[in-house]
Amino acid sequence: MTQKPPNILLIMADQLAPQFTGTYGHPLVQTPHMDAIAERGMRFDAAYCNSPLCAPSRFSFMSGQLVTDIGAYDNACEFPSTVPTFAHYLKQMGYKTCLSGKMHFVGADQLHGFEERVTTDVYPSDFAWTPDWENAEERIDKWYHNMDSVKEAGIAAATFQLDYDDAVAFFAKRKIFDYARNQEEPFCLVASFIHPHDPYVARQKFWDLYDPAEIDMPQNEIDYADQDPFSQRLMDGIEATSKAVTAEEVRNSRHAYYANTSYFDSKIGELVEALEEAQMLDNTIIIVTADHGDFLGERSLWYKMSFFEHSVRIPLIMAGPGVANGTAANACSLLDMLPTMVDIAGSTGTAQPEYGRPVPGRSLMPLARGEDDPVSEAIGEYCAEMTASPVIMIRRNEYKFIYCETDPALLFNLEEDPDELQNLAGDGAYAGVVAEFTAEIEARWDSAEIRQRVIQSQKERRAVHAAMEIGPITKWDWNPPRDASNEYVRNHMDWTVAAAKTRFPPLED
């Protein structure tokens, strides 16, 4: 009899920079449940998203594809239903698949291979948030980030984000016990939370974990005149140049972010506890990650949308059967998660399905097992607001190279300069390195052609959205199906049978 492959519980945060977690060494931020997973598993110390913005990052994560290959340029791009995801492949390999929480799917397909989706999304699924590269300097005030999140940071008993994440955890825990009652097939459950994404508003309980006097302030602040052109546009776009913030507002924002990181960590604890109570912890691989990071005032920047470390690096920790205890220094990315999960699903001999399109990433299971991996690479693409041409990042070994045909190149040696304060692109000693990276990018990416594709996509989506705003229309937002007539105990049921069927652990005969 073939051994049952491990279950997979993937827990995703939104806008969580690893630099602001205790798991990755922050002296203040309390993340005991992440710490516990890292202490018995593998912590990846150079993991990156492939596009530092919510929807594009998540589409790369789901599909194992770069965003320019699937047209997933920004937060209002449709995720094509023809693109296979890890959920499709895992279903083919016998897994039950479920999404609880955010994935920012845009378009009519709100499942993308998941067998079940037990919550709605927190953000809209239409084309409203479409940028305009032909008017790149124009702010879209309805949804562009601005400094209000910094100015209004503080404490609240309830917010839409707290409401949402409480629901995500509740339905994810319920699903774990549903799986426990019927353990015939392995499962892949993705629990995707919105915290610690701004607005920076936290519950009192988590705010009180931190002394305001101890909140650390940004280490490296950079004047506008000394910023690179993209960072200047980012500062303009989020109104950091027109709306000054006080030191108290900055401290409050970081305080609330730390509190919400601990809140997210508490949800990890709830899910791990549910696995323990469901007697499935020993055969479940737990993965914790995020879609991108947050500057929190570092470099005088906020939020994300940049290839500097606080924006583009993500936490990635794994624990469970077959995972060694340690740290992995190799650069990797969310692009690698699809082949990693397929590798996990095939670990006991289940045949891997044929990929529907070439998969550029690699499985991280060799690194997770403590083995050597000759590859240390992460590729990033950014095609959303604050630019009018694609921005490309290559992180390979010690170097990070950032290229946009309208901006000066950026080159950093992250081993010697982890804060990215010394741009080596203008140093003659590194002319050869710059030339090699530039030649590679110009050979792999046609920036002018990508720009035209992005602009055409934006025009199409604006036309569709304009029509969708007129008269009655069927919305694409996911409405989780529910049949209350068959829940709990109903007249067509024997309540003693229902009680026995739903009890876990079950009574012995």
Backbone angles phi, psi at 188, to 5 degrees: -125, 110
Token pair belonging to 446: 């046609």
Beta partners for 8? 188, 285
For residues 14 and 289, the answer to whether their CB atoms sit within 8 Å is no
Beta partners for 284? 7
Question: From residue 229, how far is each of 225, 233, 280, 472 by CA, in Å?
Answer: 9, 6, 51, 43
Which one of the listed residues 33, 49, 88, 104 is annotated catalytic? 104
Separation between Cα atoms, residue 398 and residue 71, nearest integer Å: 30
Going through 29-168 in order, the beta strands assigned E by DSSP cover 42-44, 47-48, 96-101, 116-117, 154-155
104 is known as an active-site residue: yes
Separation between Cα atoms, residue 347 and residue 285, nearest integer Å: 12
Which one of the listed residues 54, 77, 188, 383 is annotated catalytic? 54
For residues 238 and 146, the answer to whether their CB atoms sit within 8 Å is yes
54 is known as an active-site residue: yes
For residues 105 and 121, the answer to whether their CB atoms sit within 8 Å is yes
Separation between Cα atoms, residue 462 and residue 131, nearest integer Å: 9
For residues 265 and 30, the answer to whether their CB atoms sit within 8 Å is yes
Token pair belonging to 212: 């305001």
Q: Which residues are catalytic?
A: 54, 104
